Structures are given as C-alpha cells and as structure tokens.
Chain A
C-alpha cells in the first residue's frame, strides 16, 4: 500500500488525537494573536457604547449549556459593557435550560463588577449591581414566538413576575418599561431557530433595534438579514465574541481561545489538502473499497 492509499485508510482517531494535541499545546503556551474586527460586530459595540447611563437594553439569553462555549462569552462581554456604563439590563431566557445560564452569568458579573477596572483607557470604579435596580431577570417561558410577540404588547403578558417570583410592577426598572418601545435595543444571544422568531415576530412586527449573537453554525444563514437592515449587527461564534471582547478591551475566554482556534484551523486545512491529494492520487486503486 503506497502513501496515498495509507492516507485514505488512516484511522480517524489519529486525526482526533493530533487535533487534541494541537489544541492542548496552544492552550498551555500563552501568546496573543490579533483579532480583526468586522463591521457587523463593531456596529453592536458602537451602538451600546453610544447609549447613555440609565438606558435599558434587553439581553435575550436563548441558549442551552450545549452552546455555552460560544455564546456565554458574548453574554458576559455585552452585559459587563452595559453595566460598566451604568445601563440597565433586562434578561430573558427563551431556551428551556437558559435560566441556569443567566443565573450563572449574573452571579459572575456581580463579582466582576465589584472590581475596579480600566477599559479602553477609561477607569470604572467597582460597584455592586442590584437585582431590580441594575437588572431584571424575567426567567423562562415556553413557545418563544408567542413570548416575543407578547412582550411587544406588554412584558407583563408573558412575564407577570420575574424569575424570582417578584411581580414586574414591583421591580424598579420594570416600572418604566411596558414593551419594546422603552428598551433601546434587543440583543439576542441565540442557538437555534429563536433567531428567526426574534426577526419575524419581534423586529418585523414591532420594529425595534435588534442585534444577534449566534453559534458559528448559524452565522452564515443570518447575513441576509443584516443586508436588509432587519438586524443591525451579528456576532458569529467564538470569533464574534472575541471581537466584542477586544472592542470592549475586556479579555475573556473567547479572546483567549482564538490562539487555539487559529492553529486548529490550520491543522484542519492541512488535513483537507492532504485528504484531497490522497483521494485524487489513489483514485484508481480505491475502486470498490470502503474509505474510512
């Protein structure tokens, strides 16, 4: 069996092993790589950066733990950016395992916000963020399309009380909010078809400013909505999160993961090239044989 035939019959577990080694080695050796910022991520950052203290944004945390790796860094980066600028954040979770994600993010952000930090040359004194005053977590409701539609009429229709059981009218920041008209923008951090629902039943019906953060798998499908102006920004996958972290000067797990991502991609490209060379060179001798 020549080299090309060997390539075609290579046990795929060697590829897994090599990929794992590359990822672990690049993770263990700390170095930084530059991240190019795209216009669609910059648009989200610039919009939130331009808002005033006291403005309210809605952060839809519509993903399960299975997408945590890509989407949690976006939630952290945007929420911390908003809190540091003294904005208020309304959290909702339209994914069934989403409340745990929000709960964890709020706990971590509460700790992080107590620290003094300097971002992009601006000093932010640490402070305690309070439930009801700085943020409201409305919880989870099933049937996302109907919930998104209902919030456009009144947040109190799908969410008579928040996640902790407090009636919405008793929550200070919700007293000023009836529907999407009182929030400056909705940023949906989404895995799955809830993104379509935000566009069709939310932005399309009530015409509010909508930006989406989504898993890498979904990214390419939603660019048409950017061109129509239905959404004003997209963050796709870990790269989108890394770009936002970089813009906000708040390095987190996404930016940290970029060096691993780059080398893993290079390795995968090498594999693709090798597999194609192997396939074309061994084409004649492989007729009728099963390639792994």
Chain B
C-alpha cells in the first residue's frame, strides 16, 4: 500500500463521508444528504464560473482585446470586432430587468438564428436522411444469416430492421382503427418497441449499478488505506461509527413505529 499524507487522507475521508451522506438518502431524506447535495450544487456552480472565465472569456475574448483601453470599451484594440459578440452577450443580462428584458431577445434571436441555420441542414442529413437510407439499403440475400449472431450486415438484419420499422410506424398511425391485420402488425410494432425499451432499461440498470460499484471501489480503497496508520484508523472508526450509530438508532425507531402501527391496527 502506497504511503499517504494526513492531508491527502483527510480529503479522501471527506470524499468517503460525502458518499455515505448521499447513500443515506436511500433510507430517507435527512440533513446529511441535504448537506452533501447542496455542497455538490454549490461546488459545481463555482467551478463552472472559474472554468468559464479561464477557458472561455479570457482566452477567447480578453486576450484578443487586451491591448485596448478599458475606458474605451476595448474598441481601440487590435481586434475591435470581438466586442460585437461580447456586447450581444452582455445584452443577455437585461433579462434581470423587467423594463429592459425585451432587449435580450435580440442576442437570443441571433443565437437561435445561427443555431437553426447550422442544425437544419446538418441535422436533416445526418440524423434523419442517413437513418432512412440505412433502413432502405438493398437486402443482402446472398449473406442472409451473416457472420455470427445478429450481424448487422446480414440480410436477416436488413429484413428485421425494415419490417420492424414499418410495424412500429403502423402502431403510431392513428387515422385508421387498429383492427384485423392492421392490429396484428401494430401489435408486432409494439413488440419491437418493447424490445428497444427493454434494451434501454437493461443498459440503465447496468449504468446505475456501475455508479454504485465505483463508490464501493473508492470506499474499499479508503477503508484499506485506513488500516495503515493509527491516526487514519481512528478517523475511519469515527466516520464509520457515526454512520453505524445513526443507522442503529433509525432501525430501532423504525421497528418501534412498526410495532405501534401493528398494535393500532
């Protein structure tokens, strides 16, 4: 085990303590959880402001206009046109005034205009047309079963995608009553959609468990480091002991309440 200074250990302990605070929400909402939650929100906001200054405003604006004069709003700098987007950005702050908030619509309109102009052609081509072309590609009859299970280049996959896409669209066609063959196809479409949702659900479960695994790994590391030094062990015992004490207290309270509820019933 690599040696660790007390300073580093205290930071690690703080991380472990906050992890336990967050997990305590699984039992019920409590002040430990609230403290950790507010700390995360505050830290993220503060971090973002500093990052935005050092990575955004400074290198992309003030470094360019820095040779100008502050009292002339940097308009005498070597890059005076950089003040145009800066001015538009500043206008966004008029949102905080009831009287002048309409001014913020101008920079917003320009921003939306640029965004829409960029996104419509590129979005249409890459997120819509490409997917349509992929659905309508020639069927690979000569390679129907493909190489390995669910090979995306196989004819079977092409057929499944084409039929599944049509069936799913049938389900969302509400201008005709879902009866007979139409109903059968729509039901097949629901099945296809359910498989899709099931895959997403499975991935989501995996994702949530992964978050817990990483915390266990970190808590495990913290726990093993804690036994390398007497002072570390003492801190470890205090943190864990506090949580265990609160846990036992809450459990006794829960069992008492349960007994009282049963007696009342």
Q: Which residues of A contact B (CB under 8 A)?
A: 13, 16, 19-20, 23-24, 27-28, 39, 64, 68-70, 96-97, 99-100, 139-142, 145-146, 149, 158-161, 163, 165, 196, 199-201, 203-205, 215-221, 224, 226-228, 230, 236-239, 253, 256-257, 260-261, 264-265, 268
Contacts and interface: CB of A to CB of B under 8 A. Distances in A.
B47 A97 contact: yes
Q: Which 8 A-B pairs have the closest CB atoms?
A: A69-B214, A204-B126, A216-B207, A238-B210, A257-B213, A216-B203, A228-B134, A220-B199
B162 to A, nearest CB: 12
Contact of A160 (B59, B122, B152): B59
Contact of B59 (A20, A161, A200, A221): A161
B119 interface: yes
Interface residues of B, number: 46
A230 B126 contact: yes
24 contacts: A16-B26, A23-B216, A27-B220, A96-B52, A140-B51, A140-B55, A140-B56, A141-B55, A160-B63, A161-B63, A199-B126, A200-B119, A200-B123, A201-B122, A216-B203, A216-B204, A217-B203, A220-B199, A220-B200, A228-B130, A238-B207, A257-B213, A261-B210, A265-B206
Nearest to A13: B27
Main secondary structure of the interface of B (DSSP, over half): helix
Given A217-B204, A230-B126, A264 B131 contact: no
Interface of B: 26-27, 44, 47-48, 51-52, 55-56, 59-60, 63-64, 115, 118-119, 122-123, 125-127, 130-131, 133-134, 148, 152, 161, 196, 199-200, 203-207, 209-217, 220
Contacts of B51: 96-97, 99, 140
A123 B16 CA distance: 37
Contact of A260 (B119, B200, B209): B209
A236 B64 CA distance: 41
B113 to A, nearest CB: 13
